Amino acid sequence: MREVAHDYGERAVLRDVSLTLAEHRVGVVGANGSGKSTFARLLNGLVVPTSGTVLVDGLDTRTQLREVRRRVGFVFQDPDAQIVHPTVAEDVEFGLTNLGVPPQERARRVEEVLVRYGLAGHRDHPAHLLSGGQKQLLAIAGVLVMGPQRVVFDEPTTLLDLANTRRVARVIDELEHDVVVVTHQLDLLAGFDRVLVFDDGRVAADGTPAETVRWYVDRMS
């Protein structure tokens, strides 16, 4: 990512962020409104920067949006805002249909992720009857079934209780994908390779979790 700046109208949200993310697990922390979500959205082209360029594997999010989106999955904070279909299996299938995957393979892949995320017993369940944690797992399943190489999580556990936070954290830990996780829960970042601290649209600190998290906590107190 090179010299990226972004503003919403008059309001500058990111200023001159230049980074290359090559690590397996990258964490992002920072105060509310510091630009974390905007940064996360830049990574799969949900937001296109007002200036500068974002490259994913050399692909420009501005011009090669489709391919970028195929490679980078995105999980939002509120599972209710990303479950599209009324029942569980239908929702997981949604992304595969968009990819044009043939029906038989769709059924196989849906089954596979439902089993992996403990949702197999809820196949035809109405999504709104799932617990918060199950809903977030459903949201994650719906993204992973599409086979992205990287996944961006924007505060995936903020709305969850402790038990469900642990469950989702374990799921993220076990992923082989490259992940970028925006979070306020610093213990989530324990095994991470790199952590960025955002402050007012800039990267204020960048390093290993041990260094940056300590720096961030000191600053906040």
Partner 1 sequence: MTAALYVPGAGPVHRAPAGLKLGLLAALAVGLFVADRLEVVAGALAGVLLIGLGVARLPGRALLAQVRPVWPWLLALLAFHLVFTGWHTGTVVVLRLLALVTAAAVVTATTRVTALVAVVEWLARPLAVFGVRPARIGLVIAMTLRFIPLIAERAQRIREAQAARGADGFRFQALVPLLIQVLRLAHTLGEALDARGADAPAPSPRRAGASAP
Instruction: Name the residues that contact ligand ADP, by CB under 6 A.
Output: 8, 11, 13, 30, 32-38
State which of residues 16, 23, 78, 193 lies at the interface with partner 1 (CB under 8 A): 78
State which of residues 6, 14, 30, 37 lies at the interface with Mg ion (CB under 5 A): 37
Q: Does 44 bind partner 1 (CB under 8 A)?
A: yes
Least distance to ligand ADP, CB of residue 203, Å: 12
**Residue 69, binding choice from partner 1, ligand ADP, Mg ion, none, Cβ under 5 to 8 Å by partner class:** partner 1
Least distance to ligand ADP, CB of residue 168, Å: 18
What does the alpha-carbon distance between residue 91 and residue 195 come to, in Å, rounded to a whole number? 32
With beta carbons less than 8 A apart as the criterion, state whether 143 and 73 touch: yes
Query: Distances in Å between the alpha carbon of 151 and those of 27, 65, 92, 202?
Result: 12, 16, 16, 22
What is the longest distance spanned by two Cα atoms in the chain? 55
3-class state of residue 13 by DSSP:
strand
Of 77 and 212, nearer to partner 1 (C-beta) is 77
Q: Does 86 bind partner 1 (CB under 8 A)?
A: yes
Q: Does 49 bind partner 1 (CB under 8 A)?
A: no
What does the alpha-carbon distance between residue 30 and residue 35 come to, in Å, rounded to a whole number? 8
**Residue 158, binding choice from ligand ADP, Mg ion, partner 1, none, Cβ under 5 to 8 Å by partner class:** none
Beta-strand relationship, 25-30 and 194-199: parallel
State which of residues 6, 36, 41, 122 lies at the interface with partner 1 (CB under 8 A): 41
**30 CB-side CA count, 13 A:** 26
What does the alpha-carbon distance between residue 162 and residue 48 come to, in Å, rounded to a whole number? 34
Q: Does 179 bind partner 1 (CB under 8 A)?
A: no
Tokens representing 188? 């989530």
State which of residues 26, 36, 76, 109 lies at the interface with partner 1 (CB under 8 A): 76
Return residues touching Mg ion (CB under 5 A).
37
